[in-house]
Amino acid sequence: MIAFGQNLIDALALGSLYALAALGIGLIFGVLRLINFAHGDYITVGAYSLIIPSTQVMAQEMLGALPWPLLIIAVTAVVVILALLSELIVFRPLRAASAATLMIASFALGFVIQYTLLLFYSGRPKAFGLWPELTQVVEFVGLRVPLLQLITIAVTIILLVTLVGFLRYTAYGVQMRAAAEDFRMARLLGVKANRVIALAFGLSGFLAAVVSLLFLTQRGIVAVDMGVPLMLFAFVATVVGGMGSLVGAVVGGYAVGILSVALQVLLPEDLRAFRDAFVFLAIIIILLFRPSGLVKVKAVVERV
């Protein structure tokens, strides 16, 4: 029973990271019908924003001394600004282009971000001990679990509830929901397209910053490609959950997280190195029976 509880906490913590990352992707897809493959690089930039080029040790000592609210605000500001600039410079001029063109543009943006980081920081991974006290083990309902896992689950729940409240009870949230349902009709009814899309990118950047801080605290190492695996699993989560559904993105994120941990426990030791392959095989089987995803969504109408 204790082992089951520990595995459940592990699954929920991993699923929470995937759910937050998938939400960032789902917000953009819901409004613009764009799968932003640069989202993983937003996460990477959030981690690198804590390091000043060529003065890594000094930067770590300086930033580590900052109060945690200021540090969170600083990282969030960097990633949100990057997301907004991406929308303004890259995606807004291509808004009338095809979905394939937008997807290629997102790949290109990701490569530009990665090689810019390589230019300033080199490709060598760097150790960065962010909030090491959060990795300590605590007693929780009879289980010994890392404090970071409990914080990850709690932060995810708080953000999900907040986002639901924003989308349901604020004017901008209602506009975003209207744009996701029928973008053309929403514009005819007075919804400002630029404002709604920029807001979606801003929220996506905020979620990427949160994932970046949680992931860096867990990982303790900054690398140029650190956001790519998260982006891959987050994208898979949005597909499994149901493209175009924020609820589906969350469900898919937790489904992928639970499946990953379950396979890590159930697979023979010789096969655990191939866990991700079994995860993707299971996802293919799910999609064979549920091509539209776990959460049923209305048909996606292509933007004009």
Assigned domain for 29 exists = yes
Write out the residue range of the structural domain in which residue 207 sits.
Answer: 2-289
Assigned domain for 298 exists = no
| Per-residue confidence (pLDDT) for residue 62, from 0 to 100 | 47
Contacts 24+ apart (CB under 8 A), 224-227: 224/44, 224/114, 224/117, 224/118, 224/121, 224/123, 225/44, 225/114, 226/43, 226/44, 226/47, 227/39, 227/40, 227/41, 227/42, 227/43, 227/44, 227/47
Measured between alpha carbons, how far is residue 32 from residues 98, 113, 146, 251, 291 in Å? 11, 21, 38, 21, 22
Half-sphere exposure (Cβ direction) of 293: Cα atoms closer than 13 Å: 27
Q: Which two tokens stand for residue 40?
A: 């993983």
Segment 229-273, tens digit of pLDDT? 889 999 999 999 888 788 888 999 999 999 999 998 888 888 888
Determine the length of the chain. Answer: 304
Calpha distance 202→107 (Å, rounded): 19
| Per-residue confidence (pLDDT) for residue 43, from 0 to 100 | 94
Q: Which two tokens stand for residue 9?
A: 């906490």
Give me the number of domains the chain comprises.
1
Assigned domain for 252 exists = yes
Segment 54-88, tens digit of pLDDT? 555 444 544 555 677 888 898 999 999 999 999 99
Ranges of the chain with pLDDT below 70 = 1-2, 52-66, 297-304
| Per-residue confidence (pLDDT) for residue 66, from 0 to 100 | 66
Assigned domain for 6 exists = yes
Assigned domain for 299 exists = no
Assigned domain for 297 exists = no
| Per-residue confidence (pLDDT) for residue 23, from 0 to 100 | 92
| Per-residue confidence (pLDDT) for residue 63, from 0 to 100 | 53
| Per-residue confidence (pLDDT) for residue 58, from 0 to 100 | 44
Calpha distance 246→254 (Å, rounded): 13
Assigned domain for 303 exists = no
CATH code: domain of residue 132? 1.10.3470
Q: Which two tokens stand for residue 27?
A: 């917000």
Place of tokens 């860096």: 216
The answer to whether the beta carbons of residues 283 and 233 sit under 8 Å apart is no
Calpha distance 200→194 (Å, rounded): 10
